[in-house]
Amino acid sequence: MIYTLAHIGYLSLFIGLMPLLVIFRFGFRYTVLIEARVATERGGISTARSIWQGKIIGRLMRSSNVFAYLIFRAIPSPFFQQRASLLGDPAVPSPRSWQAWVIAPMLLMYLAVITTLVTNLVIQSMR
């Protein structure tokens, strides 16, 4: 049982690296396009764009900001709409294909991280 969980854990780590490559190579151009549309003068997306440039860590941070903006904007609660407005303009439409290039790799990466953490917790509790 522990060996099966260990295999699940390290496979999820490996699979979690693949969405990173997609984010860095292909998805970042859509992150930039969405940033250009929704960034406000004092919003979090424009601030992150000025702080984090286009290097590896910067691409991940900027993609994470746009991911959070898209998720917050999609939730109909006023609380989340306000959070989206802190990052950018939630009223600006963006094409679904652009959103998919940002949301799908980030969700897969977070899912792989959660799988790794849960697997590690289960293995630790079995010892």
Residue-by-residue DSSP string for 2-64 = HHHHHHHHHHHHHHHHHHHHHIIIIIHHHHHHHHHHH--TTSHHHHHHHHS-SSHHHHHHHHH
Domain span including residue 52: 2-126
Task: Work out the average pLDDT over 49-54.
Answer: 87
pTM of the predicted protein model: 0.86
pLDDT above 80 for 42:
yes
- Our count of domains for the chain comes to 1
61, pLDDT greater than 90 = yes
Q: What are 81-107's pLDDT values in tens digits? A: 999 999 999 989 999 999 999 999 999
- The residue assigned the tokens 């977070």 is 110
In this structure, what token pair is assigned to residue 94?
A: 């963006």
- Condensed to tens digits (0 to 9), the pLDDT of residues 11-24 reads 888 888 888 888 88
Look at the block and give the residue holding tokens 């802190």: 86
Distance of CA 54 to CAs 6, 61, 110, Å?
35, 10, 21
How many CA atoms are closer than 13 Å to the CA of 29, on its beta-carbon side?
4
pLDDT at 127 over 80: no
